[in-house]
């Protein structure tokens, strides 16, 4: 399918796009700059993506900003990233709010500092009533952490006598996880050339279409997004069933 054919199919826009923003370090290294410069350039790319997704009518955008495993990085890089997160949240909050963006942060907040937790609460509160694009930022997030956290919370409810162990089914587990109230991602984009999930939304990505781009995250622009969306529009999603048109013809 050509880009043009795919683009003509406007109904095939993903509702929820999830992005593993990878390649900041290599982008900086290629310019003989410290990795931290790559992270700063990455913020600009994120800003562009949020605007583009909003303009295109995508309902939810989830960005992987810092994983459970990223705590293993050198302390200096971790502090820089936490500081960048804090400053970016404070700096961008009012413009995002003006653009009707609704923001939430998912991940293990117990590992984040007090100032960052406060900034998160403020921006979530400020934008809670907005009706524009829903922006989810995954910070100190891991898919395994998310599943374990959901299990623990369900176990607590069983212990409290609120539910029975036999009530725990896929809906109950999914309902106790991050993003429970949102449609699951239809499209996952990973930049930076690696073809792995690196412990991102393991449960929620069960049926997402996976798009791997060689572009390093700071270089990811509106044209890269257009290519990913065109590719998505050409996918045939079956969810384990048969192709719907074929099914209809066979039934007739």
Q: What is the DSSP string of 4-62?
A: HHHHH-GGG--SEEEEE---HHHHHHHTT--HHHHHHHHHHHHHHHHHHHHHHT-SEEE
Interacting residue with ligand IPE among 81, 85, 101, 177 (CB under 6 A): 81
Least gap, CB of 217 to ligand IPE (angstroms): 6
SS (H, E, C) 138-193: EEEECHHHHHHHHHHHHHHHHHCCCCCHHHCCHHHHHHCCCCCCCCCCCEEEECCC
Spatial contact of 236 and 209, defined as CB atoms under 8 Å apart: no
22 binds Mg ion (CB under 5 A): yes
88 binds ligand IPE (CB under 6 A): no
Residue nearest to ligand IPE (CB): 25
142 binds ligand IPE (CB under 6 A): no
42: tokens are 């990455």
Instruction: Tell me if residue 11 is catalytic.
Output: no
* Residue (127 or 215) nearer to ligand IPE, CB: 215
Helix (H, G, I), strand (E, B) or coil at 241: coil
Q: Which stretch binds Mg ion (CB under 5 A): 21-29, 68-76, 79-87, 242-250?
A: 21-29
Q: Which stretch binds ligand IPE (CB under 6 A): 62-70, 127-135, 150-158, 178-186?
A: 62-70
Q: How many residues does the chain have?
A: 252
Of 235, 199, 236, 194, the residue nearest 213 (C-alpha): 194
Q: Which stretch binds ligand IPE (CB under 6 A): 113-121, 191-199, 227-235, 244-252?
A: 191-199
Interacting residue with ligand IPE among 20, 58, 61, 105 (CB under 6 A): 20
Helix (H, G, I), strand (E, B) or coil at 209: strand
Instruction: Tell me if residue 146 is catalytic.
Output: no
Spatial contact of 63 and 137, defined as CB atoms under 8 Å apart: yes
Catalytic residue among 3, 7, 9, 22: 22
Residues 68-127 that bind Mg ion (CB under 5 A): none
Binding site for ligand IPE (CB under 6 A): 20-26, 64-67, 70, 81, 192, 194, 196, 198
Binding site for Mg ion (CB under 5 A): 22
């Amino acid at each position: 399918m050509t880009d043009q054919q795919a683009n003509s199919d406007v109904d095939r826009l993903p509702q929820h796009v999830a992005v593993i923003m990878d390649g900041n370090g290599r982008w900086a290294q290629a310019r003989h700059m410290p990795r931290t410069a790559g992270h700063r350039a990455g913020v600009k790319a994120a800003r562009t993506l949020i605007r583009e997704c909003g303009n295109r009518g995508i309902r939810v955008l989830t960005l992987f900003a810092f994983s459970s495993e990223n705590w293993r990085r050198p302390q200096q890089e971790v502090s820089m990233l936490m500081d960048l997160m804090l400053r970016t949240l404070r700096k961008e909050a009012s413009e995002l709010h003006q653009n009707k963006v609704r923001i939430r942060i998912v991940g293990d907040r117990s590992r984040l500092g007090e100032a960052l937790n406060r900034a998160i609460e403020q921006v979530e509160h400020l934008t809670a009533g907005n009706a524009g694009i829903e922006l989810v930022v995954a910070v100190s997030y891991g898919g395994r952490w998310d599943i374990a956290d959901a299990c623990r919370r369900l176990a607590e409810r069983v212990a409290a006598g609120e539910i029975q162990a036999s009530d725990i089914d896929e809906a109950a587990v999914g309902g106790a996880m991050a993003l429970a109230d949102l449609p699951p991602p239809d499209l996952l984009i990973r930049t930076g050339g690696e073809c792995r999930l690196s412990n991102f939304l393991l449960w929620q990505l069960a049926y997402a279409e996976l798009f791997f781009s060689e572009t390093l995250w700071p270089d990811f622009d509106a044209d890269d997004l257009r290519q990913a969306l065109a590719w998505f529009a050409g996918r045939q999603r079956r969810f384990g069933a048969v192709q719907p048109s074929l099914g209809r013809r066979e039934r007739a």
